[in-house]
Amino acid sequence: MLLALEQTLNGLQLGVLLFLMAAGLTLVLGVMQMINLAHGSVFMIGAYVCAAVYAATSSYAMALLVALVVALTVGIGIEVLIFRSLYQRDHLDQVLSTFGLILVFNEVMRVIWGPTALHAGVPAFLGGHIEVIPGIPYPIYRLAIIGSGLVLAILLYVLVVHTKLGMLIRAGASNRIMIQALGVNIGLLYTLVFGLGAVLAAFAGIMAAPLLTVEPGMGEGPLILAFVVIVIGGIGSVKGALVAAVFVGWFDTMGRAFLKPLLGLLMSSAAAQAAAPAIASMLIYILMAIVLLFRPRGLFPPRTR
């Protein structure tokens, strides 16, 4: 039981990280109809820069700030230089171009920091454990991830639902042509949305760095998970991204933790030993397939024309 609670917390933490990745992705996809595979690269850049700066200066605040600024700059840079010509193109072109960008970014990381993983330290003030659930010491850092992620989710909610910018974003996700016709500066809006997404992704990378291996290509795994999340949640919907992210994170973590004992009840322990890791890694994709069977556009698709 206690293990289940602990795993639920872990699942929540994963879900929050996924949300940070997915929110930016779903906004860009929803508003700009643009598939951006390089989103994972921004995640990676955030993690790398933060880890490197923290190792060099021992100031986490500094590392955080520099990483976010660098990621934002890179994000806006590629938006202006490359994405502007891609918005009108079909999805295949976007996929291939951003795939090319991934190749470039992964290699650039290798050039700057080498192929071996970088050490990302947990900042001192977030180290240690506390007993959130009596009897289980839980890492404060993970709680910090959950906390900051939820704060960002609330901020994002306020932005999207209660501000004019948010309204423009939602309108853009619903009907881009219409808001252009209504005189909204689409170029600026796109840059803002993309910048926002980049900052969220970089933040996710920064937070995840101590938990994952900081190496070239580290963004790809979270990226694909984020895609699964937004497909389940509905492309263009931040609410969908949150619900789906938390659920996927929880489901995946619980699945990996408890599938083997569960299967062990049904079959011999040797068979369960072999089958459980395989099935556990497939769980969220099966979940996605099931959701799609009933809701081909996800759980909370924004209403379109």
Partner 1 sequence: MLLLLLVPQISDLTGQAYYIGFFTRVVAFAIAAVSLDLILGFGGMVSFGHAAYLGVGAYALGILLRHGVTNALVHLLVAMAASALVALLIGAVSLRTKGIYFIMITLAFSQMLYYLGVSLSAYGGDDGMSLPARSDFFGVLDFASDTALYYFAFGMFVIFFWISRHLVMSRFGVVIRGTKSNERRMIALGYPTYRYQLLAFVISGAMCGAAGMLLANQALYVSPSLMQWSRSGELLVMVLLGGMGTLYGAAVGSLVLMILEKLLSHVTDHWPIILGLILVTVVRFAKRGIFGWLTQTRPAHANGKKDG
Find the binder of partner 1 among 134, 135, 296, 305 (CB under 8 A): 296
| Residues in region 120-159 near partner 1 by CB under 8 A | none
Task: List CB contacts of 140: < 8 A, sequence separation 6 or more.
Answer: 126, 127, 128, 129, 130
Q: Least distance from C-beta 164 to partner 1, angstroms?
A: 27
Find the binder of partner 1 among 57, 59, 73, 85 (CB under 8 A): 85
| E-only strand ranges, the chain | 129-133, 136-139
119 binds partner 1, rule: CB under 8 A: no
Location of structure tokens 């996924």: 18
Residues in contact with partner 1, shown as a per-residue x/- string from 43 to 82 under the rule CB under 8 A: ---------------------------------------x
Pick the closer one to partner 1 by CB: 10 or 94.
94
Angstrom distance (rounded) from CA 31 to CA 270 = 49
CB neighbours of residue 71 within 10 Å? 29
Residues in contact with partner 1, shown as a per-residue x/- string from 254 to 293 under the rule CB under 8 A: --------------------x--xx-xxx--xx-xx--xx
Of 170, 302, 298, give the one whose Cα is nearest residue 245. Answer: 298
Contact call for residues 80 and 191 (beta carbons, < 8 A): yes
114 binds partner 1, rule: CB under 8 A: no
Q: Least distance from C-beta 162 to partner 1, angstroms?
A: 28
Q: Calculate the alpha carbon distances from 118 to 45, 146, 211, 219, 247 in Å.
A: 12, 24, 12, 14, 30
Q: Where does this chain bind partner 1 (CB under 8 A)?
A: 29, 33, 35, 82, 85, 89-93, 95-97, 99-104, 106-108, 110-111, 220, 224, 227-228, 230-231, 235, 274, 277-278, 280-282, 285-286, 288-289, 292-293, 296-297
